[in-house]
Structure 1
Amino acid sequence: MDTKRLIVFGGVIAAIVIGITFFAPQPKKVETTDETKAVVSVSTFSLLESAHAVAGDALDINMIVPLGNDPHMFSPNPTQVAEISKSALFIYNGAGFEMWAESLKNTLPKTIEVIDMSQHVALQKNEEEHHDEHADEADHDAHAHEAEHHDEESHDEHAHHHHGAYDPHYWLDLDNMIKMTQTLDAEFSKLIPSKAEQFHNNATAYIAELQQLKSEYETGLAECKNRTLISNHDAFGYLAHANKLENVSVIGLSSDEQPSAKTIAEIIAMVKEHGVKTIFFEELINDNVSQTIARETGAKAVALQPLENISEDELKSHQTYLTIMRENLKKMREAMECR
């Protein structure tokens, strides 16, 4: 009898220990080196790339949106929210790109530093005034955006009171990618002051690579027969604007919009009129519209990567922000018949 009691008692104790272990607050995800690694959660691929470049192996960088997912359509599940809750830093794109982050940030533990990266870059006004109404105002808008792009002071005050007032795809402007890297350098240095010099050296090296890429774009797109970038989804405004190209998109900033027949007809007319030979579509979203326009005009439909996210295959083949941007440049040079 005593032995039985002992076994039952032992079983109860074991169950309690397992329960405590299982339900106890889990510690931050750490690796035991000389210093435990703080976790940094980021929402988009461009933030992941910049964070990895600056942190090296000093921090554990975790991207919330799974590879291959369209970030516009994404919403985190409880496991992903729990992952963010273990972070020392949560960095999101902002400017209305992740509506889930706006509501989530208020529910996170106060110990987590939350950074809206859109407050640290130069934003452009949202061009949602569709081309079916304003096609002839493209030139005027381009000049307005020129001023907007350099007007960093004014956008910072207003960006977050008007969701959707700004185009959130700002990482496609290399000057913004540089600003993001500088911001992460400062934030990581505050987080781990003992590694500040390492972060700064890493950031400096990555910024030099971004500046090199910027000069490749300037040279590569300097002399082109055609300077119109036509795409299915308005993700390439910053890329076009930074390189003095005219940006025309079939749908707006949200990748799940359906274009009207009138919009498609107008873009087909524009493609024919300008002799455009390539319609770009975004890799992670449906390309039916681009394919339709291509069929109607004899143009080619070609994938252009907006770097909102990458696929498993791209990761496996060691694709990075830099390699994909170079691939985009190659496709744009061919499409626009650049010398």
Structure 2
Amino acid sequence: MAIIACHGKTDLLITFTCNPGWPKIVDNLERHQRWEHRPDLACRVFEGKLKLFLQDFTDRQLYGRVLNYHLVVEFQKRGLSHSHIFFTFVQDDKIHHERDVDALISACIPHETQQPLLYSRVGSHQLHYKCASEGDNAPCMRDGICRFGYPHSFCSDTEFNAGNNQRPKYRRSNNGRIILLANGTLPIDNRRVVPYNSYALAKYNCHINFEVVGAAATIKYLHKYLMKGWDRVSIDVNDENSRVDEIHRYVECRYVSSTEAAWKLLEFDIFKRSHSVVLLPVHLPGYRDILHDNDQDNLTVEELNALLNKKSKLEGFFELNRNDPDARRHTLDGPVV
């Protein structure tokens, strides 16, 4: 949370998901192959797309000047990879008002004839419809209620509840626009559209969920969500020739899909951030730790003096503050602007 204390509230939470229908994946599959058969190919394409998406924010600054970011890559049990990314903008580009939200995020179905590409992208990637087609059997249903809150209510204007511990309510016009699914038998309207950015969705052709961080009180939950860890699977081992020991036969294991295994074999980043927090080793004057390689017994006098006079990170931090006035603005309470 030190980065929050230093730079302020996070502005955007984005989920960027791999699309197995990307041409770079489909065009490189052999006959009768599916993307599940080439997890290495899916990982390489997703990693390249994720880099480009990150450059749109950091280098091209398409959505505002980024102050800091951090992301984590996760893997669904069915194998697809996705990334959760937090962005914090500089003060002049922060999201303060409803008009800022509307300029960045949409939760409405585009016009079918005026925006045919975007209309197709929303229909393919940005609709939450399982609980509409499968009812209580949908994986998102809990006690008859969708745990993601769908369908949302129609809303004529965006409500940005920055002062409350709530997510913003995005504009969902009751304009009669629908997308027909399930062979034209299931009409889906704006109440089931997952919030998206028009440019990013049209460019990357995959599920990209844009969410504005409305209240500072949600920061702790969001960062816990970002670091929730890996998937698990429970195994029930039955042995007919022995007595049943329910505690002994229950095993909780980490679930590693083929995509996650390929990602790590390719040595791609699981976690990335723009800023790091360094823990300084605290010690009394003259009592710093000195590391010495036991294989180097024959040290010269110069080498020994250099080793004894080498400053620790804490001493280097103090010296930097003595010589560089700009470094003194980094305090426990954040930078002094």
- Superposition TM-score tier, normalisation by shorter sequence: under 0.3
Higher relative contact order, chain-length normalized (CA < 8 Å, sep 6+): 2
Higher Rg of the two aligned structures:
2
**Structure (1/2) with the larger helix percentage:** 1
Tell me the TM-score normalised to structure 2 length: 0.24
Tell me the TM-score normalised to structure 1 length: 0.24
